[in-house]
Copies of this chain bind each other. A is one copy, B any other.
Amino acid sequence: MIGEMARAATTSDVFNAIAEPQRRAILALLRGAERPVSDVARQMGMTQPRASKHLRVLREVGLVTDRQAGKQRLYSLDARGLRPVHEWTGGFERFWNDSFDRLEAYARDLARKRSQ
The residues of A with any CB-CB pair to B shorter than 8 Å are: 7-8, 13, 15-16, 18-21, 24, 27-28, 31, 77-80, 82-83, 85-86, 88-93, 95-96, 98-100
Contacts and interface: CB of A to CB of B under 8 A. Distances in A.
Contacts of A28: 91
Contact of A7 (B15, B20, B27, B88): B20
A104 to B, nearest CB: 12
Contact of A95 (B7, B24, B79, B98): B79
**Looking at A13, A80, A90, which has the most chain B CB atoms within 10 Å of its CB?**
A80
A45 to B, nearest CB: 15
**Looking at A19, A78, A80, A99, which has the most chain B CB atoms within 10 Å of its CB?**
A19
